[in-house]
Amino acid sequence: MLPNRTYNELNESCFSQTELSEEAKLRAGLSARKNRRSSLQLTADRKTLIAIYKKMQEKEEQWGALEALFRDFYIVERVLNDCDERPRRLPVLLHGSHAGLPRIYDIAACMAGRRDGRIDEATVYAFMEAYQSVTPLTMAEVAELPNMLNAALVKLLTLECERALEAENSMETAKSAAAQLERIKERARREAIIDRLSLGEDPVLCECLYGMMKEHDEGIAELINAKLQLEDKSIDGLCAKAAAMRRRSTQRADNVIRSLRCIGGMEWNKAFEDLSVTDRELRRDPVYGKMDGRSRSYYRASVERLSMRLGAAEQVIARQAVRLAQSGEGKEGQAGWYLFMEGRERLYNVLRPDLRFKKNSEDKKRYALSCAEMMTKYTQGRLPGSRRSTSWLRVILSTRRLWKTASRLPRPITMLPQRFSFAFRNRPCGYLAGCSGGRASSLRLISSMLSVAIIRYTSPSPRCSMGSRFPSASRRLTT
């Protein structure tokens, strides 16, 4: 078994639905650190499960969880291939058995471990409701819930398969010991072999060896029974314990397989909107509920950006934006006016009056896009590898004196196509190297406009022509 905190609490006692809700409220009181990059790696679990599956192909009968793995390995393989192991910025726990791991994984591990691997839609909704009644989760955490549930279930299945593999090894040991005992006729040597096996500590080994000896040699079976009586243990109790271990291993593995199927069949887009506290706050705006999915996603992304900028909780920002919208009329009667339009300044003043609101003027945005489009056309899209484009842009920026450029680009530039993004990431210095002491807001504006210009150049459209959209800026630059 691997010494890893991700396996903690996956073998706890089985809870009822009410007990699980109480456990969720207790776990919600654990403190967490915000926005720390972390990830869960399933590489070791993938290697372990594949190795066990290949080993079980050589056998006719499997013990416990190995039977479920051998029967439904295609489901496990599909989940392993679909799991996203990229690092995410998620709140991590500071205390507890899962300290240093994402808080949402602690939730998933509790649901998987405390229910013997039985997870369905009702369990997810009940646990999340109880947890968020004490501590609301961020939208990024709710979005990562299905991935974390799959990871916790895969790790639980790995533990059960490793335990079942140990039972298989005990059975092989029992078979070799039985063959050795049958060859030896001296009673003293037989007793020495039985003493070395430690039958009282391994119920599977004891059950298998006693069953074989009872069929072939009653004398050896009596020796085993006498040895167990000296340790104050009965053969019937150990056999019953071994049978219970096998039943529980099979049951937990079957529960994991059914849970993986259930999670894969759930409508997580709908579940996200039902479980997210921020989405509930935004739905108090009558306009938000009538929008399509992409528009609602843009609202939520705006709330997430404002939360990082202002240091306020996402649900607080959404609640305040809806309150401001309820007191306005027309455009000001919509929450989006305060999330990503002109009303953001008012939202800043309400939530964080100590922060100064900064925004780029429309003329500045228009001029930056015009510069980027003209430079992209001038270099025919080969911006990262062209020295002429660098000097040309530097002349334009220094001539207009709208901002100073710093010695590097902000990373990552998500809107760039792959071939341009690769060059920017690996050679960030020198392309916009103007005066030192530049401002990050100007760099973000420059990079975003360059991204838009390159995308427009690679996929030209009549609606994206520079002259039709910004004739005045184009005229000023060409003269």
Token code pair at residue 68:
């479920």
pLDDT of residue 430: 31
Q: Which residues on adjacent β-strands are paired with residue 37?
A: 89
Indicate the average pLDDT of the chain: 76
Residue with tokens 């005229």, as numbered in its chain: 475
Q: What are phi and psi of 290, to 5 degrees?
A: -90, 0
One pLDDT digit (tens) per residue for the chain, 479 residues = 344 667 776 766 778 888 888 888 888 888 777 766 766 778 888 888 999 988 888 887 888 888 889 889 999 999 988 887 777 788 888 887 888 888 999 999 989 888 888 999 999 999 999 999 999 999 999 999 999 999 999 999 999 999 999 999 888 888 888 888 888 888 888 888 888 888 888 889 888 888 888 888 888 888 888 888 888 888 888 889 999 999 999 999 999 999 999 999 999 989 999 999 999 999 999 889 888 888 899 999 999 989 888 888 899 999 999 999 988 888 888 888 889 888 888 888 888 887 766 665 555 555 566 666 655 555 555 544 444 444 444 444 444 333 333 333 333 333 333 333 333 333 333 333 332 234 444 555 555 555 555 555 544 443 333 333 333 333 333 33
pLDDT of residue 379: 54
pLDDT of residue 454: 53
Question: Model pTM greater than 0.75?
Answer: no
Long-range contacts of 457-462 (CB under 8 A, 24+ apart): 457/373, 457/376, 457/377, 457/381, 458/381, 458/417
Model confidence pLDDT, tens digit, residues 361-390: 555 555 566 666 655 555 555 544 444 444
Residue with tokens 């975003």, as numbered in its chain: 448
Rounded CA gap, 3 and 371, in Å? 56
pLDDT of residue 253: 92
pLDDT of residue 322: 92
pLDDT of residue 87: 73
| Of 158, 171, 201, the residue nearest 65 (C-alpha) | 158
Helix and strand element counts for the chain (H, E): 24, 2
